[in-house]
Structure 1
């Protein structure tokens, strides 16, 4: 059985994105295991030059490295992903490169109508940066709009059509994970390229 990380893309303690990942975790428990990863305890990124990475960062990187794939759920603030998620990705691409060639599925929940569509587009662009270079599942947006009304008292999605769509995307993601994890021939070179990349020398 595949083991996934569900990355909660916010430091909010009441996020519906956490609820969405918890639903995925429970609803698809017979198809894959998923552990939730929080970013609310990540320190502010400060590009350290002479100190080891904070333990919480190294532990997160190790967990991502060992997982078969990652599902990130992001809210949308001002047409963008939250600063806390940018901060986490800054840490997870600094002297450690757990996302290189890692299969990633993006989901998102928002209080409004668009369901974090702009944030998801931005997140795809960030995950494709030279220091991250994740393998992002294409054509796979899951946009949960009006998320405050989307769950029942037992944290289950109410809308059967949304569950049907998510079920299809999750099944596709498991296939995508298998495909991507066979593309290992250039992985060492890709990691080395991420390690050696420098914006100053472009």
Structure 2
């Protein structure tokens, strides 16, 4: 199974990157996970003719080709970082590769809550008509006090958290398999969803 892990921040020292690296290493026999950075992507600026910059298009193509996506987000001021929001705006306004794509949301934070409010907000954003991801329900992985969560080799210290992550990941693999099977067997008009525009809707979305 081919998965994409998106580091949801432009920080060079993020524990969310360490979390995805741990997931990549720990479950390498179950899935091929490529970690993608967003720190070098340009800030969203509404483009002419809905065309994505080349750097955004590369990320979009990787998402499109993957069986599923894992997004790891920190929490800034009770929500996701501006850099992650910017990337989602690019994707929603241009190529829309997340439509009907299975997504798992995880997160690490320096505080005790483990990015719980940011994860809830991210789920809400991913449900927007221009993104419309298939978000794994009733499961979240929250890694609090993340500065002390890994040893020098990048291994997660808490056995309880490792077991929790293993269960979440195995559930996600099943979710990806079932979701993609459902999409293959039934016509959910993904192509029509990608043509959605707020110019023909009453309100909301990427409009100014």
TM-score interval (norm. to shorter): over 0.9
User: Hey, what does 1:18 align to over in structure 2?
Assistant: 17
Matches of residues 1-202 of structure 1 in structure 2 within 5 Å?
2-50=1-49, 52-184=51-183, 185-187=186-188, 189-198=189-198, 201-202=201-202
Unaligned runs of 5+ in 1: none
Query: Per the alignment, in what secondary structure is the counterpart of residue 92 of structure 2?
Result: coil
Distance (whole Å) between structure 2 residues aligned to residue 52 and residue 133 of structure 1: 19
Query: Per the alignment, in what secondary structure is the counterpart of residue 75 of structure 1?
Result: coil
Query: Per the alignment, in what secondary structure is the counterpart of residue 60 of structure 2?
Result: helix
TM-score by length of 1: 0.95
TM-score by length of 2: 0.93
**1:168-200 deviation digits (Å, cap 9, x = unpaired):** 01111000000100122234x233223223166
Question: Is the contact between residue 129 and residue 196 of structure 2 (CA under 8 Å) also seen in structure 1?
Answer: no
Distance (whole Å) between structure 2 residues aligned to residue 44 and residue 200 of structure 1: 26
Query: Per the alignment, in what secondary structure is the counterpart of residue 46 of structure 2?
Result: coil
Unaligned runs of 5+ in 2: 203-208
Question: Is the contact between residue 50 and residue 93 of structure 2 (CA under 8 Å) also seen in structure 1?
Answer: no
Distance (whole Å) between structure 1 residues aligned to residue 199 and residue 149 of structure 2: 42
**1:35-89 deviation digits (Å, cap 9, x = unpaired):** 0010011111111114742111111000000001000000000100000000000
Cα-Cα RMSD: 1.2
Count matched residues. Answer: 200
Question: Is the contact between residue 100 and residue 191 of structure 1 (CA under 8 Å) also seen in structure 2?
Answer: no
Tell me the CA shift for residue 93 of structure 1.
1.2
Distance (whole Å) between structure 2 residues aligned to residue 186 and residue 74 of structure 1: 32
